Amino acid sequence: MIKWNLFRPAKALSNSNLGYLTTYKLEDVYFFLGNQRIQEKIGELKTKATMGIRLEQFVQGKNVVGFYDKGPIYCLSLILEWFSDTQIIDYLFSKLYDYNEENYMKNSLWSSNRIKFINDLIKSIENRQSRQPNNSDLQNINELKKHLTYNYYYNDYHFFLISFYRKLRASRDEELKSKVNMTVLQDYPKKIERIKKSMIDLNVWIEQGLGNSILTALKKYCENTNQTGKYQVFFDKAANDNWRF
């Protein structure tokens, strides 16, 4: 079966000036950051090269593209690349917990346009298939139908935390580090099996397993706070499941 990379347009509201933040229903992030701080950062980054989307397009673009295979948590991780203040990374970490498996693929312009795009693409391929039947089109249709119901929550949650811990390592705020580690230690073990399943479904997982810097950070935190024994079964199981840390 082919792996579809559904990276397609999701138009923001035509009267909006908040770009992707409107597409993903994240306008509150803009107001937390504040217009002055955003404009200063845009100016600071103006002459710097980028391998991806620029901040000004992200927060100001109209009718901007969205990411059909990445949800709002992915957008939070993009913001982490631009802003490193302790106050902001603390806020973005709290935003992570606005989402769960039940609400992640709902209630945004991104989610509704995503479904429409996939259905339109299926219809187009079915029309071609009716004129010129072939096995490749049938495979493509079946793969697209899977994406109609696929939930990206666990995948986005995991990779947000990967990005977040990179920022956290550079922070000198020990209180924030402790709060994050305590929260993740209570939440991440409950989700790790679903995370692996999500990666398998998306063809991200490899037979030899994957490195996991979240587990590395959590194990170090447990060692520093004398909690390793309490969580040793979890770490052992993660290692047996081919997570490398």
Q: pTM of the entire structure?
A: 0.86
Q: What is the pLDDT along the chain (245 residues), one digit of tens a residue?
A: 333 344 444 443 334 578 899 999 999 999 999 999 999 999 998 888 776 788 988 888 776 657 778 899 999 999 999 998 899 999 999 999 999 999 999 988 898 888 888 899 899 999 988 888 888 888 888 888 888 889 999 999 999 999 999 999 988 899 999 999 999 999 999 999 999 999 999 889 999 999 999 999 999 999 999 999 999 999 999 999 999 99
On whether the CB atoms of residues 238 and 212 are closer than 8 A, the answer is: yes
Angle between helical axes of 213-224 and 153-170 (0-180°, round to 10)? 50
Q: Which residue bears the tokens 């980054």? A: 45
Question: Which residue in 185, 216, 212, 183 sits closest to 199, CA to CA?
Answer: 212
3-class secondary-structure state, position 37: helix
